[in-house]
Amino acid sequence: MNQAISNDLVIELRLPTADDGSKLNELVASCPPLDTNSLYCNLLHCTHFSATSVAAVAQDDPERLVGFISAYVPPQQEDTLFVWQVAVAEEARHQGLGGRMLDELLERPASARLRFVETTINPGNAASWALFESWARRHQVPTSRQPHFERQRHFGGRHDDELLLRIGPFERSAPGPT
């Protein structure tokens, strides 16, 4: 359990549970331009992928989910954490919570084998680019980007392009990024 303080809001970072599923659904819906997923998908992130995801709750009201990272380790890339979504409630924004949640994930003992973080971001999502690029700079690790899913080819014109951002490698002499 890790704690972070945002103004008067004290935030606890912890493993998600099934009880967070519906709250995650509401949080993502309140964070455009994030894609909403089904409630069932969010329940799976909170249970099947709880070891690689993080829930941020208000310490004064542990039922209030103010941030969440959904992530997993792709089966063919055991040294890579793929971050699906980062959601931060309006009340907890501009306090570095996204970066602290990423730190929490990489500091867990179960993450010791990870050397890369990957995510996909559409070109117009300035907040996500800023989060991941500043996080990589803070940890002094390189980044690369390349096309991953294309608007017409993969999304049938119904979604913006998604670029793959790869961060790393991390030199891992101890848990967490250096």
| Residues of the chain where predicted confidence (pLDDT) is lower than 70 | 1-7, 149-159, 172-178
Q: What integer pLDDT is reported at residue 158 of this predicted model?
A: 66
Q: What integer pLDDT is reported at residue 174 of this predicted model?
A: 47
For 129-177, write each residue's pLDDT tens digit: 999 999 999 999 999 998 776 656 556 666 677 889 999 999 765 445 6
Task: Give the H/E segment covering residue 71.
Answer: strand 61-72
Cβ neighbours for 32, distance < 8 A, ≥ 6 positions apart: none
Q: What integer pLDDT is reported at residue 6 of this predicted model?
A: 45
Q: Which residues pair with 56 in a beta bridge?
A: 13, 67
Map tokens 């119904």 to a residue.
158
CA distances from 26 to 53, 57, 67, 108, 126 (A): 17, 14, 11, 27, 22
Cβ neighbours for 97, distance < 8 A, ≥ 6 positions apart: 4, 6, 11, 56, 66, 67, 88
The CATH code for residues 2-167 is: 3.40.630.30
Q: Quick one: tokens of 3?
A: 């704690």
State the pTM of this model. 0.86
Nearest C-alpha neighbor of 101 from the set 145, 131, 144, 78: 131
Q: Report domain extents, the chain.
A: 2-167
Q: Tell me which DSSP letter residue 104 carries.
A: H
